[in-house]
């Protein structure tokens, strides 16, 4: 095939229909798009992530290499994304946790009406006839009937012998006609709540009459192959057709999940008449086709925090084309609808006690407050706790080490692996557990440096500096040692320091300290597998009595579900978004200071971690 001189190999590959994953979004940062230039003229703009040996062997980063003439390129098989998600398997059956009566709370409703057939003496138009009946029976006035609806109205009324069910959205200024169905179809009504995570998309199929979640499905966000974190996605969206491509990918993911849930229940996806969506601001911008560039550029401005209602057909979502798509409001570039929805569903905004709400995903967002006030901030923790940026890191799927214990005498580890088989790497909770154990047993010091003088082969000098071996090659799935290196530890320390500094900044902003926190609520699927003790020992969670912690699971999806059902819950989220003060940490020197102070295990100021001090004293006493 032919491609313009000066194009990137990734562009050429895409034009040729070859899929090359670029997890960092094409920044040349991750090295995963390496290909072999076998012949011809190519110019490497960056060789970051490639060794001298790699270069000698012809390796080049597809996203950083320019075509300068005829070229033969070999694309090595790339790491597959495992398609088994723990979230879907473990997703708990959600029952309606609050009072719900569709007549009182729902905005999308069905009405069965018998329209009077026209005659020469009563020859008003079809729409007016329908309106007349709806006004009479259901007090609906000023109905807005969009064109696509009107285009089928005449035929539908006659086909159905003038007995029809009108589906109407009463959420806006004027009631809006979404659909007209033949006969009485008021016995069912469906909606969907969707959580678009940077990594995972979750869909709840909801019976809008009973309010119950009748099916749940989750899968990786299809955008993953175009960047693993939010910044990579923004970078990708800013280039060429990137935004449209990412929009299509996430819409396809949602459509697949809708398809999966409706098939199980033998429902036509077109019967879904309402969708409420949460996600961070970048995910929502991309879904809506809004360029997200400014989100990552100082002073970090979104196009819109309270998106207008969209229609399914505008976003290529395969439910009823005129169904309202309600993207819930966020607060700022790094304080999205996932957090306002989380505040709602966690009850933070209605709490009598001082509450700290934390959602650790790819970023760490947190909100502190009571029913009187709410302050929030976001820490760019990076995806270290999701297994990225760590040599042996992986997502929480089969083969991931999720818990580690180190024998303080022999320094030999004991591990627990998801699925029970041979390990392949470490997921977030495994990494936290490992770092805490290494620190407590003296494998590392406060600064995270591995003590190479220990009498064990588990510590050694590796290619990337000092490292600790968690599993030997013959014990692993991959046939290679699983190790944690100094750069890995530094990455994890930076992530936890950013989060801890965030707590302190929030508390300080309202003249408090961490000891004033009476309740700590942790959302996000990650939270579910967190070991409080270990998380405190590494300094990721504040040193509070354990009974102050509560794990809430997917608070974002739950918030979307509440907003899908109840008009007042939807209004409450808007109130939360309006009320919440957002503190931008990026340019704050005080944050940098707090961050530096937290870059140790568990912290430079040990008075903030009295329980850990006690454990250490215990260790030394042995």
**What residues make contact with a copy of itself under the rule CB under 8 A?**
118-121, 123-128, 144-147, 150-151, 153-155, 158, 173-174, 288-291, 293-294, 298-308, 310, 314, 332-333, 582, 584, 586-587
Residue linked to tokens 């009187």: 372
Residue placing its CB nearer to a copy of itself in the complex, 331 or 522? 331
H/E stretch holding 351 reads: none
Minimum CB distance to a copy of itself, residue 237 (Å): 12
CA–CA dist 307, 277 (Å, integer): 11
SS3 label, residue 249:
helix
Residue placing its CB nearer to a copy of itself in the complex, 42 or 145? 145
Q: Are 364 and 397 in contact (CB under 8 A)?
A: no
Residue placing its CB nearer to a copy of itself in the complex, 150 or 510? 150
Which tokens hold the place of 251?
């819409």
Residue placing its CB nearer to a copy of itself in the complex, 277 or 514? 277
Residue placing its CB nearer to a copy of itself in the complex, 78 or 313? 313
Minimum CB distance to a copy of itself, residue 120 (Å): 5
Residue placing its CB nearer to a copy of itself in the complex, 151 or 266? 151
How many alpha carbons fall within 13 Å on the CB side of residue 2?
Answer: 1
Residue placing its CB nearer to a copy of itself in the complex, 15 or 587? 587
Which tokens hold the place of 515?
């000891």
How many alpha carbons fall within 13 Å on the CB side of residue 416?
Answer: 9
Tell me the sheet residues that pair with 201: 196, 219
Residue placing its CB nearer to a copy of itself in the complex, 147 or 621? 147
SS3 label, residue 334:
coil
Could you tell me how far CA 281 lies from the centroid of its own chain?
10
CA–CA dist 468, 452 (Å, integer): 9
Residue placing its CB nearer to a copy of itself in the complex, 290 or 436? 290
DSSP states of 81-100:
PP---HHHHHPPPP---S--
Among 290, 285, 287, residue whose Cα is nearest residue 275: 287
Rg (CA), the chain: 27
Three-state SS string over 402-436 comes to EEEEECCCCCCEEEEECCCCCCCEECHHHHHHHHH
Minimum CB distance to a copy of itself, residue 156 (Å): 10
Which tokens hold the place of 333?
């570039």
Residue linked to tokens 């190790």: 483
Residue placing its CB nearer to a copy of itself in the complex, 400 or 498? 498
Which tokens hold the place of 455?
């009498």
Minimum CB distance to a copy of itself, residue 599 (Å): 24
Q: Are 179 and 273 in contact (CB under 8 A)?
A: yes
Residue placing its CB nearer to a copy of itself in the complex, 140 or 288? 288
Report the interhelical angle of 242-265 vs 230-237 (nearest 10°). Answer: 120
Residue placing its CB nearer to a copy of itself in the complex, 270 or 306? 306
Minimum CB distance to a copy of itself, residue 7 (Å): 24
Among 432, 403, 441, 451, residue whose Cα is nearest residue 615: 441
Beta-strand relationship, 482-485 and 465-471: antiparallel
Minimum CB distance to a copy of itself, residue 147 (Å): 6
Residue placing its CB nearer to a copy of itself in the complex, 81 or 127? 127
Minimum CB distance to a copy of itself, residue 143 (Å): 10
Minimum CB distance to a copy of itself, residue 281 (Å): 9
Length of the chain, please? Answer: 622
Three-state SS string over 157-175 comes to HHHCCCEEEEEEECCCCCC
DSSP states of 539-578:
TSS----GGGEEEEE-HHHHHHHHHHH-HHHHHHHHHHHH
DSSP states of 105-132:
H-SEEEEEEEPPPPBTTB---HHHHHHH
Residue placing its CB nearer to a copy of itself in the complex, 129 or 424? 129
Specify the DSSP class assigned to residue 332: B
CA–CA dist 146, 477 (Å, integer): 57
């Amino acid at each position: 095939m032919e491609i313009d001189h000066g194009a990137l190999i990734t562009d050429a590959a895409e034009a040729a229909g070859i899929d090359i994953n670029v997890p960092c979004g094409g920044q040349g940062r991750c090295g995963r798009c390496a290909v072999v230039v076998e012949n011809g003229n190519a110019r490497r703009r960056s060789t970051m992530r490639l060794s001298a040996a790699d270069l000698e062997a012809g390796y080049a980063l597809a996203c950083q290499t320019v075509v300068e003439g005829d070229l033969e390129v070999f694309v090595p098989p790339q790491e597959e994304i495992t398609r088994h998600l723990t979230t879907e398997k473990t997703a708990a059956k959600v029952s309606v946790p609050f009072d719900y009566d569709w007549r009182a709370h729902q905005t999308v409703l069905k009405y069965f009406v018998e329209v009077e057939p026209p005659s020469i003496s009563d020859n008003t138009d079809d729409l007016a006839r329908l309106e007349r009946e709806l006004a009479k029976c259901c007090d609906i006035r000023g109905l807005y009937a969009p064109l696509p609806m009107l285009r089928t109205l005449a035929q539908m009324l006659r086909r159905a012998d003038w007995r029809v069910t009108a589906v109407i959205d009463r959420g806006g200024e004027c009631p809006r006609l979404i659909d007209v169905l033949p006969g009485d179809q008021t016995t069912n009504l469906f909606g969907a709540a969707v959580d678009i995570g940077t990594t995972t998309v979750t869909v709840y199929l909801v019976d809008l009459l009973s309010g119950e979640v009748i099916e749940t499905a989750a899968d990786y966000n299809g955008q993953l192959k175009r960047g693993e974190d939010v910044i990579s996605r923004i970078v990708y969206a800013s280039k060429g057709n990137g935004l449209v491509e990412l929009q299509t990918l996430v819409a396809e993911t949602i459509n697949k999940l809708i398809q999966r849930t409706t098939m199980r229940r033998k429902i036509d996806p077109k019967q879904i008449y309402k969708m409420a969506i949460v996600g961070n601001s970048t995910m929502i911008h991309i879904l809506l086709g809004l360029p997200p560039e400014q989100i990552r550029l100082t002073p970090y401005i979104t196009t819109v925090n309270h998106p207008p209602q969209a229609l399914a057909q505008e976003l290529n979502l395969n439910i009823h084309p005129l169904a309202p798509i309600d993207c819930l409001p966020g607060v700022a570039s790094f304080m999205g609808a996932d957090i306002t929805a989380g505040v709602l569903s966690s009850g933070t905004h209605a709490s009598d006690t001082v509450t700290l709400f934390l959602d650790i995903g790819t970023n760490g967002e947190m909100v502190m407050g009571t029913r009187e006030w709410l302050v929030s901030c976001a820490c760019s923790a990076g995806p270290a706790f999701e297994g990225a940026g760590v040599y042996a890191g992986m997502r929480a799927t089969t083969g991931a080490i999720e818990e580690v214990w180190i024998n303080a005498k022999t320094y030999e580890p004991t591990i627990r692996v998801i699925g029970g088989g041979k390990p392949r790497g470490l997921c977030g909770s495994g990494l936290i557990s490992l770092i805490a154990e290494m620190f407590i047993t003296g494998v590392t010091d406060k600064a995270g440096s591995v003590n190479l003088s220990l009498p064990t082969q588990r510590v050694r000098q590796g290619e990337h500096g000092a490292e600790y071996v968690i599993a030997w090659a013959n014990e692993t799935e991959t046939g290679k040692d699983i190790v944690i290196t100094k750069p890995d530890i530094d990455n994890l320390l930076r992530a936890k320091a950013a989060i801890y500094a965030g707590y302190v900044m929030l508390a300080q902003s309202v003249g408090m300290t961490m000891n004033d926190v009476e309740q700590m609520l942790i959302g996000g699927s990650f939270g579910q597998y967190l070991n409080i003790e270990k998380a405190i020992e590494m300094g990721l969670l504040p040193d509070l009595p354990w009974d102050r912690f509560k794990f809430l699971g997917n608070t974002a999806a739950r918030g979307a579900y509440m907003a899908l059902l109840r008009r007042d819950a939807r209004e409450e989220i808007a109130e939360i978004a309006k009320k919440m003060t957002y503190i931008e940490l990026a340019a704050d020197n005080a944050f940098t200071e707090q961050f530096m102070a937290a870059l140790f295990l568990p912290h430079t100021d040990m008075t903030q971690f009295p329980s850990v001090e006690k454990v250490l004293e215990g260790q030394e006493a042995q």
